[in-house]
Amino acid sequence: MDICKHIKEVLTLAKFQIIFIVKRTILWFRLSVPDSMLLLV
């Protein structure tokens, strides 16, 4: 039972980490794309 609980906690932490990385990547992408579009225009 304890092992299952530990695995669930690890998976939850990993899920939050992945969501954080994805959000950060999207934010960076949004910030960098308009600049490059302005350079093209």
- Digits of tens for pLDDT over the chain (41 positions)? 699 999 999 999 999 999 999 999 988 888 887 666 666 65
Question: Rounded distance, CA 1 to CA 8, Å?
Answer: 11
pLDDT at site 29? 83
Question: Rounded distance, CA 11 to CA 28, Å?
Answer: 26
pLDDT at site 30? 82
Using DSSP, state whether 41 is helix, strand or coil. coil
Instruction: Give the tokens for residue 9.
Output: 């906690």
Q: pTM, whole model, 2 decimals?
A: 0.55
